[in-house]
Amino acid sequence: MLRIVLARSSRAMSSASPASASDSDTSVRKIGKALETYLKHSQQHVAMMEKHRAEFETGRRHLAKMMSLDIHELDQEAIDRAILYLFPSGLTDPNARPVMRPPDEILPKFQRFTFDEEGKPEGSRFFTLSPKIYGLLSDIGVKTHSVMKFYDEHVGSRSVNRSDLEPANLSGSQWVTADKLKKKLSEKFSKELYGQVIIAFEHLASLPGSAIEQKFLMEFREPMTASTGSKLFGPAIPEVHVCAVTNRRYAEVTTRCKDTRATVKVTDAGKGKFDIDGLQLHDFRHLQAREILLAPMIVSQSLGRFDVTATTSCISNTLPEAPNKAPLMRSGGMSALPRAVRHGTALCVAALQPEAIEPLRLSGLLTLDPRKNERSKVNQPGARAKWIWKRR
Amino acid sequence: MRRVVAAAIRTERAFSTRFSASQQKPVASTSSSSSVPDRATLEKGTVQPTVLKPFVSASLQHEDLFNFEKMVHIDEMFKARLHYGHKVGTVNNNMKWALYGERLGVCLFDLDITKKYLVRALNFVAHVSLRGGMILFVTSNRDTMFDVEKAADEVGQYSHVRKWQSGTLTNTRQLLGASVRLPDAVCFLSTLTSLGENHPAIVEAAKMAIPTIGVVDSNSDPAYLTYLVPANDDTPQSTEYLLRMFKEAVRKGQEERKRQQQGK
């Protein structure tokens, strides 16, 4: 091996000897050849972008003249509409249609690097092509090892705080999305790589003793409250209205449980009255029904503050085959009507008292109960029941 | 044809790094410019490279310029478990020259041979660092990847311990969008991937005529590697020892380079 290197070195030396008489400028230019090429390409790219921007502005002015519009009114939406009018296209692929957008959005971006005086790229992970995301992965790995070592050294010891030996507390927050992580790191990466980062984060957060890295983990977490308002299963939280006559706030919602549909109206500044189809709370003789009806008030700590008015109906009576059957008074069991009213009451209380949304959501009172009676099947006594097996 | 192209690329790359050495040693460059080898000597050098020795730089005449022979101790290598290979059934035929024998079904390296080749590799790393070269440390061992990254960062060099993107060295222009300077030497702390295949960077470095240093185990394939270090590449202790040696070599080269620049 050494002989080959010696031969190549000597050959290089022979070609280097005639240039040894040159001054240091030649040396600097030769050393930074890659850097010189990069700078030349960078200048070319900047010049090209300037030319394209000027052309875009000229085109915008011509387009304004053609469409008889003021140049200041011609924003990107107006440009898109004008191009659609001037060049109607039946192509089904949106990317194949004519477009006029700023060159910064259309032309490929130039990769920016930093070099030192010898033309070496900066960053020890430069040749991984994604140095920042891989650096984050390495940070997670190193912190995982340090957390494991910390726990092994201090488990069963009294010198360390007990809360430091707990896993990190991540409740009420979620991991940043891939787009936000790309913006945070100023680097592009694939979805698989993002998945690996999340797996590494989850592993670090699940370790005992990872509470000491709580600050590092929370840098990549964001609060969850802003995104849970519109993710309820079932009816959404209704809007609050003000009654013009009594000048009191109220909310109204329609929901269901099994075969019972309930339209509930909750009024603020009340006395805790219940009016369910003309019945008050004490008219429900079962304790279970009363507990079900009072649950939203107890969870939101607003007993005696809201008045509840509800009307219920049977869903089966509104089906297309209903006229052929005797109308039912009510169905769904004893707790279906209170539970339907409870769901509606909880949604209205959440609208009138926004700070109670989280306790109600955690209690499950804002979620629709989709269960209903399963229909009977042919060739068996009920929905799933079978006859008793007999050998012979 | 490939050898000619590789030699041309090697000449062009070595010229930029060799030129700085010439600038730092005016006397040596003056003497070497007056003794350019003629055509007959060059042709003879293709079959007998030692005849070209009088024409190379003075610092390259010394086999152990940085005195690594005294720094590498066999008992330290033994304590760092560099002598352990893999099981006898997985031995590579091209690695038998470095083995001392086997014990309990495990191959054992001859640490005398390992020391000789390690000193040679360390001298090469120090010379590359002396001339301001870029060294890329590569490994695919999950147990030692963070140590390799940390070592490369401490001495200001480069590391790659993740999944190797195909074309990183051969297709840099497309992947990075600009032509950047490639590493001048690649150091493989482990030459096999987790699937037991050769690391793809070995072939890419060979295609780009980049010299490579490989820590080869008994089941590795030493083809395409320029400098071999037959040693254990799986144990964290052995990798830590080798990284310490390579870091010391890079530091010595950088210190010598700084001294020469200040002297000039």
Strand partners, A174: A222
Distance from CA of A97 to the nearest CA of B (A): 27
Taking the C-alpha atoms of residue B197 and residue B228, their distance in angstroms, rounded to an integer, is: 17
Select the residue of A2, A14, A33 nearest B37 (Cβ to Cβ).
A14
Q: Who contacts A275 (Cβ-Cβ below 8 Å, separation ≥6)? A: A307, A308, A309, A310
Six-digit token string for B166: 């195909």
In angstroms, the CA A296 to CA A109 distance is 55
pLDDT at A159 over 80: no
Asked whether the beta carbons of residue A113 and residue B29 sit closer than 8 angstroms, the reply is no
**Over the stretch B66-107, which tens digit does the pLDDT of each residue have?**
888 888 888 888 989 888 898 889 888 888 899 889 888 989
CA dist., res. A363 & res. A299, Å (int) = 8
* Residue predicted with more confidence, B229 or A392: B229
Give chain A positions within 8 Å (CB) of B179: 34, 37-38, 41
Contact B191, B215 (CB under 8 A): yes
Tens of pLDDT, residue by residue over B132-146, are: 898 999 998 878 889
Q: CB-based contacts of B258: which residues, under 8 Å, 6+ apart?
A: none
Min Cα distance A96 → chain B (Å) is: 25
Q: Is residue A231 part of a domain?
A: no
* B56 vs A contacts (CB less than 8 Å): 6, 9-10, 13
Which stretch, A22-31, A63-72, B33-42, B245-254, has highest mean pLDDT? Answer: B245-254
Q: Are residues A196 and A293 in the same domain?
A: no
Angle between the N-to-C axes of helices B145-154 and A131-154, in degrees from 0 to 180, rounded to the nearest 10: 110
The domain in which residue A79 lies consists of 2-106
CA distance A111 to B176: 7
State whether A100 and A159 are in the same domain. Answer: no
Domain assignment present for A369: no
The CB density around residue B104, as the number of other CB atoms within 10 Å, is 7
Does the residue A115 lie in any domain?
no
Give the mutation candidate from A2, A9, A26, A33 for the B interface (greatest B CB count, under 10 A): A9
| Cα distance between residue B183 and residue A32, in whole Å | 14
Report the percent of chain B where pLDDT is more than 70. Answer: 86
Contacts of A214 (CB under 8 A, 6+ apart): A168, A169
CB burial string B42-61: b at 16+ within 10 A, e below? beebeeebebbeebbbebbe
Q: Over 60: is that where the pLDDT of B222 sits?
A: yes
Residue A24, pLDDT score:
41
pLDDT in tens, A8-56: 333 333 333 333 333 344 444 444 667 777 777 788 888 988 888 898 9
Please report whether residue A228 resides in a domain. no
Look at residue A388 in the predicted model and tell me its pLDDT. 87
Structure tokens given for B263 = 């002297």
Domain-located, residue A102: yes
B165 in contact with A, Cβ within 8 Å: yes
Examine residue A229 and state whether it is found in any structural domain, yes or no: no
Q: Which residues of B fall within a CB distance of 8 Å from A138?
A: 145-146, 149, 161
Asked if the Cβ–Cβ distance from A41 to B179 is below 8 Å, we say yes
Is the CB of residue A252 less than 8 Å from the CB of residue A238? yes
pLDDT at position A169: 78
Answer yes or no: do A253 and A348 share one domain.
yes
Last residue of a domain, one of A194, A223, A252: A223
Q: In whole angstroms, how far apart are CA A142 and each of A85, A87, A147, B150, B153?
A: 58, 57, 9, 10, 14
**Do A10 and A95 share a structural domain?**
yes
- Taking only residues 217 to 246 of chain B, the set having a beta carbon closer than 8 angstroms to any beta carbon of chain A reads 226-228
- The shortest CB-CB distance from B56 to any of A13, A19, A35 is to A13
Q: Do B53 and A6 touch (CB under 8 A)?
A: yes
Number of domains in chain A: 3
Does A93 share its domain with A137?
no
Provide the pLDDT for residue A26. Answer: 42
With cut-offs at 50, 70 and 90, classify the pLDDT of residue B230. very high
| Spatial separation of the C-alpha atoms in residues A370 and A219, rounded to whole Å | 38
Q: Say whether both A251 and A317 belong to one domain.
A: yes
Compute the nearest-CA separation of A226 from chain B (Å).
Answer: 36
**Average pLDDT for residues B215-226, to the nearest whole number?**
89
Among A59, A79, A106, give the residue marking a domain's end: A106
Using CB atoms, pick whichever of A1, A35, A126 lies closest to residue B226.
Answer: A1
- For A171-204, the pLDDT digits (tens) are 778 788 898 888 788 887 898 889 989 999 989 9
Q: Is the pLDDT of residue B9 over 70?
A: no
Nearest to A366 by CA among A193, A228, A161: A228
- B-chain CB neighbours of A31 within 8 Å are 16, 19-20, 132
Q: Which residue does chain A place closest to B211, by CA atoms?
A: A5
Same-domain check for residues A176 and A244: no
pLDDT at position B119 = 92
Task: Write out the two tokens for B163.
Answer: 């999944």
pLDDT of residue A20: 35
Distance from the Cα of residue A278 to its chain's centroid? 44
Per DSSP, the three-state class of A83 is helix
Q: Residue A331 — very low, low, confident or very high, per pLDDT cuts 50/70/90?
A: low
pLDDT on residue A158: 67
Backbone angles phi, psi at A347, to 5 degrees: -65, -40
In a domain, A191, yes or no: yes
Interface with A, mutate which of B150, B157, B180 (most A CBs under 10 A) = B180
Residue A127, chain B, CB below 8 Å: the answer is: yes
Q: Chain A contact for B18, CB < 8 A?
A: yes
**Residue B231 pLDDT class (50, 70, 90 cuts):** very high
Task: Map residue A107 onto helix, strand or coil.
Answer: coil
**Is A232 domain-assigned?**
no
Neighbours of A343 (CB within 10 A): 26
Q: How confident is the model at residue A162 (pLDDT cuts 50, 70, 90)?
A: low
B45, B52, B149: residue with CB nearest A138: B149
Whether residues A316 and A348 fall in one domain: yes
- Contact residues, A window 2-41, toward B, CB-based 8 Å cutoff: 2-21, 24, 26-27, 30-31, 33-35, 37-38, 41
- Residues A198, A94 share a domain: no
Residue of A nearest to B30 (CA): A20
A102 & A60 share domain? yes
CB within 8 Å: B179 and A4:
no
Report the candidate in B65, B57, B185, B184 with the shortest Cα–Cα distance to residue B120. B65
Q: Are B146 and A145 in contact (CB < 8 Å)?
A: yes
CATH of the domain at A256: 3.30.230.10
On whether any CB of chain A is under 8 Å from the CB of B8, the answer is no
Are residues A287 and A338 located together in one domain of the fold? yes
Name all domains of chain B by residue range, CATH numbers in brackets: 74-263 (3.40.50.10490)
My answer on whether A216 and A252 are in the same domain is: no
Amino acid at A113: F
